[in-house]
Structure 1
Amino acid sequence: MKKSDFYFDLPERLIAQHPLDQRDASRLLVLDRAAGGGVAHRHFTDLLDYLQPGDTLVMNNSRVIPARLMGAAEGRTAPIEVVLLTDKGEGVWECLTRPGKKTRVGTKLSFGGGLLTGEVEAVEPESGNRMIRFHYEGVFLELLEKLGTMPLPPYIKEKLDDQERYQTVYSKTPGSAAAPTAGLHFTKGLLQKIADKGVNLAYVTLHVGLGTFRPVKEDEITDHKMHSEFYMMDEDTAALINRTRDAGHDVFAVGTTACRTLETIADDAGRVRAQSGWTDIFIYPGYRFKLVDHLITNFHLPESTLMMLISAFASRETIMAAYGEAIREGYRFFSFGDSMLIL
């Protein structure tokens, strides 16, 4: 398939620049695959109508770290921007740097007047990302809270006053460079109502990298190489999901990150086991889903791997028709936008 098969024209006015005052006040477009792609226009709190007792709602509890650092390079007066992408262990992070030409191997960096320092050890040949070894005293995440800022997606131009609005209310495990945005619509109150209905709440962890926003450059989508992201599922979650399947109930994935995690872990029979590791699973039309029955997701960028994933879930034609309807109805798109439920 061609990248252009997943293009659509989106008016700029529909790109949400800020979250709604109330998280669960967003709209919900319900796409029913069993009804031939029929669409219903609801609100996010109506999600309760589609969840049944015994179903399991699986969410990604990764927490966004303030991964954007502004610092100085040795011998240079202009600032250097560093965005942390992936923790490689032992103080080394894969990073995006700007300007990249000024961060060659051996470049020494300083942040916060020397509270945090680093040195570029390698340059990834394909991505151009830098491997930087950091040096510091104390706890690294505490330093980031002091020195870093939230790396919002490039299509968000307005300042975010409350950084917690780019976190889910159930975020727990720090490590993401971008939020699992499908979960931004949930409030603690709505989650309690879902649990009170007899729906199981389950959590996996997938640390979202900025590769999420990396455009597909190849014309043939099968030539695209996915970025790799770290995931975890514990024994309690695995047991809960297996019980749900054994009892004939449904699994709802909250977001493409939870979906990719579940599909990475599931075997051909749709069963899972506790594990952790790295996934670069690329889901596009033709993929056979092993575990996920229903998907809650935001509205995605044209020609993105996320558009390809949901097109695998509901067919490209069905998704493109639903997106056309969403545009006509004025839905808000992307990270702070409205939501879609694919049944």
Structure 2
Amino acid sequence: MTLNFNLFEYDYHLPAHLIAQYPSGDRSSSRLMVLDRKTSRISHRFFRDLLNYIEPGDCLVLNDTRVFPARLNCVKATKGKVEFFLLHFPRENGNGAAFAKALYHSSKPVRQGQKVRCKTPLEIEVLEVGTGGQVDIKLLYQGELLSVLESCGDVPLPPYIRRSPVASDIEQYQTIYAREIGSVAAPTAGLHFVEDQLLLAGEKGINIVWVTLHIGYGTFAPIRTPDIRNHRIHHEWISVTESTVKKIASTRNRGGRIVAVGTTTARALESIVNDRGEIRPFQGLCDLYIIPGHRFRVIDCLITNFHLPKSSLLILVSAFAGRDKILSAYKEAIDEGYRFFSYGDAMLIV
């Protein structure tokens, strides 16, 4: 297979009306494209049909990160508006204060030492103004930090969803199994699962295990280098427990497949494997950037959504299935009217 590192070879035209602005009515009613890497065969199904393609003894690996309200709309003393987008869950000091890095948007620049208020008794102080709209801030609050953020923050919908958050996004932009708080974007491949589907998977003899990767704002960062090998992605925090590692190892020893739910899960698993194909428990930062030529040592199948042109996520799935197969599948998805991106339809690559 020829390796292509030219960014512009990972471009495609997507009609704007296919960018999903709202989720489908029922999570599992999303469409599912099934792509066979060996035969290039494409099948069109619904996500509720997923378990027809996963066998007893396979292992389904899901990212249990939970999105927090990272978008804070505040008011300056001058009544001017300023929005802060938290780049990570704030670090608390236990005294009603927490610290975070954020991006801000305002008609006028903020300044060091400036204080602004949000909807609730949450005050933000600008500690340092960096470049590119980034600031270090201190959050001053009363009570439990997550509750404060939930009361005054908004769901951090991606920039290609061109509307304000609505009440239903609080639930819909979250997987049903989300539990570990820390992401500013949802692991969208998991948004399609419903409780009954996971229960049926267990009854069918499919192993289910969890990893955690807290998704940062870098997931939306565009690649600006013509040669994709020169791009760098941001660090993200991951946790892969010993119990997950043992279950994956047991599955592989018995000949079962590892089915990664989402590119975040794929990156987490592929980042903790050594040259002998052994995986070890790990907790820490991950900056694995998967491009064509990467040797996949853990995952056998990938469940994923349809990704932005010229994005690191499109490049990852191209590394897994082959660029030509992916772009051909995307063209067919467009022709068939699939919905794209976070609230869109899904793809299973086997």
1:1-343 to 2 correspondences below 5 Å: 1-35=5-39, 37-73=40-76, 75-87=77-89, 89-90=91-92, 91-99=98-106, 102-112=109-119, 115-125=121-131, 127-158=132-163, 159-162=165-168, 163-343=170-350
Residue 95 of structure 2 corresponds to none
TM-score for the superposition, normalised by structure 1:
0.94
SS at match of 1:33: coil
Taking every aligned residue pair, what percent have the same amino acid on both sides? 45
Deviates more, 1:179-188 or 1:240-249: 240-249
Contact 1:18 1:160 in 2 (8 A): no
Shift in Å at residue 297 of structure 1?
Answer: 0.1
Shift in Å at residue 128 of structure 1?
Answer: 4.1
Cα RMSD after superposing both structures: 1.6
Contact 2:75 2:117 in 1 (8 A): yes
SS at match of 2:185: coil
Quickly say closer, same or farther: Cα 1:273–1:100, change in 2 above 3 A: farther
TM-score for the superposition, normalised by structure 2:
0.93
**Structure number having the greater helix percentage:** 1
SS at match of 1:334: coil
**Matched length:** 339
Shift in Å at residue 157 of structure 1?
Answer: 2.3
Which amino acid counterpart does residue 156 of structure 2 have in structure 1? P
Quickly say closer, same or farther: Cα 1:107–1:201, change in 2 above 3 A: same
| Structure 1 unmatched runs, 5+ | none
Shift in Å at residue 104 of structure 1?
Answer: 3.3
Which amino acid counterpart does residue 61 of structure 2 have in structure 1? V
Per-residue CA deviation, residues 195-239 of structure 1 (Å, 9 max, x unaligned), is: 111001111111111211111122221222201111112221121
Distance (Å, rounded) in 2 between the aligned partners of 1:110 and 1:53: 54
Contact 1:8 1:302 in 2 (8 A): yes
| Structure 2 unmatched runs, 5+ | 93-97
SS at match of 2:45: strand
Distance (Å, rounded) in 2 between the aligned partners of 1:8 and 1:271: 37
Shift in Å at residue 101 of structure 1?
Answer: 5.5
Shift in Å at residue 88 of structure 1?
Answer: 6.2
Shift in Å at residue 292 of structure 1?
Answer: 0.9
Which amino acid counterpart does residue 33 of structure 2 have in structure 1? L
SS at match of 1:287: coil
Distance (Å, rounded) in 2 between the aligned partners of 1:278 and 1:104: 31
